[in-house]
């Protein structure tokens, strides 16, 4: 298996893009990534694009063909990848495998979603289809309710408090305020979170990631060729995916995501590293409780200590493990198909020492964790600066 590197990265600002459509966003991110790699379109062998629900959100299917057309990449094969909110991370995994196997040399990977053209209730129902439609969504359990159940159980078992969850939002907004691509670039307080309207007890508005438009892209190449394109390639040293039951009622635990645990262990084994070797992490914080569970499931903190660690500032910039320096899904935004690729872009910028205003000191190893639905899919990547 060949070693794989990211040689180019780019993204659109995340937010509400009333002046841009789906194809505008993906073309902008793709051009930025390809330009950053310093290559022309005729050097690209294949592409993979992550998007979750373009058919229902904008009425457009056949995304691979659309992007090949509008990016000017025909007849290069472009393949759509769907894994709910993990679509972007899974597209990156497909690109990684294509290059690692030797099937292709230069692969472009993208993620995109245009979500704000529809009302909140409609979008919530569409996203709910990433869970068990028959046993959850049909009975009214959208994702805020499902993650609220996880939060309640975590509070019961480990003494996690609403203030601990609120501290995750406060930290991620502080990071997002330093990111010009973030949807929300203003800081908040724990009091702001605690006084915000409840969505599904104990989760409040500021515990939840927003509805977002945006796109992100990276360009992959074999590591042996990477230095011929860029002076700062970033190697993907681990790539792992795992699955779990799609419905919450079929899981072994309400306070852990088994798919994250399994994918994380596989990634650490592949990289021959431990959680202590990670300098920073981009975590799938669709809800504040999700970040707390993830930093536990990945082994950064013992089970039940993710909440106290967050409240004590151990995951903030300048602390022992900076988490979500981009602002995470909570502040940077969550255009579901783009999130996993955005995480990779942030890791590239950190490892190339290009994360303006939010640079992690002595960053050498980064990790990203992208989740589909309420945990039925998880993909973990580990990155190394070269």
Residues labelled as active-site residues: 85, 334
Q: Quote the DSSP letter at residue 255.
A: S
- Cβ burial of 341 (10 Å; 0-12, 13-18, 19+) is buried
Query: Rounded to whole angstroms, how far apart are CA atoms 199 and 188?
Result: 18
Distance, CA of 365 to chain centre = 17
Phi-psi sector, 31: left (phi>0), alpha (psi -120 to 50), beta? alpha
Q: Quote the DSSP letter at residue 279.
A: S
Query: Rounded to whole angstroms, how far apart are CA atoms 232 and 364?
Result: 12
Query: Rounded to whole angstroms, how far apart are CA atoms 40 and 332?
Result: 29
Backbone angles phi, psi at 91, to 5 degrees: -65, -40
Pair 371, 85: CB distance under 8 Å = yes
Pair 120, 134: CB distance under 8 Å = no
Taking the alpha carbons at both ends of the chain, their separation in whole angstroms is: 19
Pair 232, 267: CB distance under 8 Å = no
Residue carrying the six token digits 């790539």: 239
Query: Rounded to whole angstroms, how far apart are CA atoms 359 and 354?
Result: 7
Query: Rounded to whole angstroms, how far apart are CA atoms 198 and 147?
Result: 13
């Amino acid at each position: 298996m060949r070693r794989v590197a990211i040689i180019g990265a780019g993204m659109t600002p995340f937010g509400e893009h009333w002046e841009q459509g789906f194809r505008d966003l993906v073309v902008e991110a793709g051009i930025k990534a390809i330009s950053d790699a310093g290559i022309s379109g005729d050097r690209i062998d294949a592409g993979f694009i992550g998007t979750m629900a373009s058919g229902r959100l904008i009425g457009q299917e056949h995304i691979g063909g659309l992007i090949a057309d509008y990016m000017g990449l025909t007849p290069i094969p472009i393949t759509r990848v769907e894994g709910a909110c993990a679509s972007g991370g899974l597209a990156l995994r497909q690109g990684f495998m294509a290059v690692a196997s030797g099937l292709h040399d230069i692969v472009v990977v993208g993620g995109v979603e245009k979500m704000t053209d529809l009302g909140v209730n409609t979008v919530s129902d569409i996203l709910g289809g990433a869970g068990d439609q028959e046993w959850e969504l049909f009975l009214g359990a959208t994702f805020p309710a499902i993650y609220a159940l996880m939060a309640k159980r975590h509070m019961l078992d480990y003494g996690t408090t609403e203030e601990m969850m609120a501290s995750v939002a406060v930290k991620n907004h502080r990071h997002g305020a330093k990111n010009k691509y973030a949807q929300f670039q203003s800081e908040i307080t724990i009091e702001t979170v605690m006084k915000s309207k409840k969505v599904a007890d104990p989760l409040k508005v500021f515990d939840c990631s927003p509805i977002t438009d945006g796109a992100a892209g990276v360009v992959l190449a074999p590591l042996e060729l990477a230095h011929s394109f860029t002076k700062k390639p970033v190697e993907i040293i681990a790539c792992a995916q795992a699955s779990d039951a799609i419905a919450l009622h079929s899981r072994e635990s309400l306070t852990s995501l088994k798919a994250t645990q399994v994918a994380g262990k596989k990634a650490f084994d592949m990289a021959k590293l431990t959680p202590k070797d990670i300098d920073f992490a981009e975590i799938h914080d669709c809800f504040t409780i999700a970040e707390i569970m993830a930093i536990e499931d990945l082994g950064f903190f013992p089970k039940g200590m993710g909440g106290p660690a967050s409240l004590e500032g151990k995951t903030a910039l300048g602390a022992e493990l900076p988490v979500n320096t981009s602002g995470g899904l909570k502040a940077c935004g969550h255009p579901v198909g783009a999130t996993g690729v955005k995480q990779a872009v942030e890791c590239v910028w950190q490892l190339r020492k290009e994360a303006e205003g939010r640079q992690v000191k002595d960053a050498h190893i980064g990790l990203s964790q992208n989740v589909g639905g309420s945990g039925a899919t998880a993909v973990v990547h580990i990155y190394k600066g070269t």
